[in-house]
């Protein structure tokens, strides 16, 4: 079965102590993940090492960075490279979150470089895509999101692209409490898988987990995750509450 993943995206929230307590509270639930199920915690840079040691003895629990720089090293004050992440044993990194595209001017071309940089350092990208409200209202979301994949990922070989995780996050549903309907999520995920299949074949497309992001909560996760092409979620707000996130992990197929 394709990997099913509950990914927490803490964004710029929680103190170190609050983060540590949240991880303790979640791990205390003693969730036993099936071999195809994974949980990721995308935490702020200063919490990576602590979080990694918190989950060290938990099967299929991993830690992710929320971003990395596209260059290898150099005069880029305040930035963190994939090589640095690798040197502390980080194996996942969220890339291209809509907030970074919007506030930090990340482009599809720059993201292609970040993807390469992560892969060169043994880090699996959790590649985010998704359309803004005006594109959804104009009905051109499919072309918009397919373009994000083509420009940032389609230079990869079939062997490599099938190791990635994709997160579809309609921007109009992020942090707004407005979730895409299960039908809208399934429709886009199915479409993205078809776009990947067209270039790389069905076997490759079937390997890639596509997570849904945008106001996932304990209450809507079971229905969203039950869709055949929705392989879990990238969760912002609700990942900051232990009971909410525990229920979301438990909703994985």
State the Cα–Cα distance between residues 56 and 64, nearest whole angstrom: 13
The backbone torsions φ and ψ at residue 90, rounded to the nearest 5 degrees and listed phi first, read -85, 135
* Distance in angstroms (rounded) separating the CA atoms of residues 190 and 169: 14
SS3 for 212? strand
- Catalytic annotation present for 169: yes
86 vs 99, which CB is nearer to ligand PGA?
A: 99
3-class DSSP assignment, residue 168: strand
Distance, first Cα to last Cα, the chain: 10
- Give the nearest residue (CB) to ligand PGA: 236
Q: Is 36 a catalytic residue?
A: no
**Selected catalytic residue, list 69, 70, 97, 189:** 97
Q: State which residue, 1 or 12, has the beta carbon closest to ligand PGA.
A: 12
Residues written for the chain: 253
Site for ligand PGA (CB under 6 A): which residue of 16, 104, 107, 175?
175
The answer to the question of residue 96 lying near ligand PGA (CB under 6 A) is no
Q: Closer to ligand PGA at the Cβ: 169 or 231? A: 169
User: Both tokens of residue 144?
Assistant: 């918009």
Of residues 188 through 227, those in contact with ligand PGA by CB under 6 A are: 213-216
Can you give the binding site for ligand PGA, defined by CB under 6 A?
9, 169, 174-175, 213-216, 234-238
Residues labelled catalytic? 97, 169
């Amino acid at each position: 079965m394709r990997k099913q993943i509950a990914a927490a995206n803490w964004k710029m929230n929680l103190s170190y102590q609050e983060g540590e307590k949240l991880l303790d509270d979640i791990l205390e639930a003693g969730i036993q993940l099936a071999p195809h199920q994974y949980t990721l915690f995308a935490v702020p840079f200063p919490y990576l090492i602590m979080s990694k040691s918190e989950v060290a003895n938990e099967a299929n629990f991993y830690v992710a960075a929320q971003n990395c720089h596209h260059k290898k090293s150099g005069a880029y004050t305040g930035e963190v490279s994939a090589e640095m992440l690798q040197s502390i044993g980080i194996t996942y990194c969220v890339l291209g979150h809509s907030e970074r595209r919007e506030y930090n001017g990340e482009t599809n071309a720059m993201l292609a470089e970040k993807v390469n940089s992560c892969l060169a350092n043994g880090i699996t990208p959790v590649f985010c895509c998704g359309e803004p409200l005006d594109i959804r209202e104009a009905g051109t979301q499919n072309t918009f999101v397919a373009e994000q994949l083509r420009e940032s990922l389609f230079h990869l070989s079939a062997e490599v692209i099938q190791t990635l995780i994709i997160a579809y996050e309609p921007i109009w549903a992020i942090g707004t409490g407005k979730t895409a309907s299960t039908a809208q999520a399934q429709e886009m995920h199915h479409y993205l898988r078809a776009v990947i299949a067209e270039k790389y074949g069905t076997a490759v497309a079937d390997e890639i987990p596509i997570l849904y992001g945008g106001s996932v909560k304990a209450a809507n996760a079971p229905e969203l995750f039950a869709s055949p092409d929705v392989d879990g979620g990238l969760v912002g707000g609700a990942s900051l509450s232990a009971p909410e996130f525990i229920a979301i992990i438990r909703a994985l197929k």
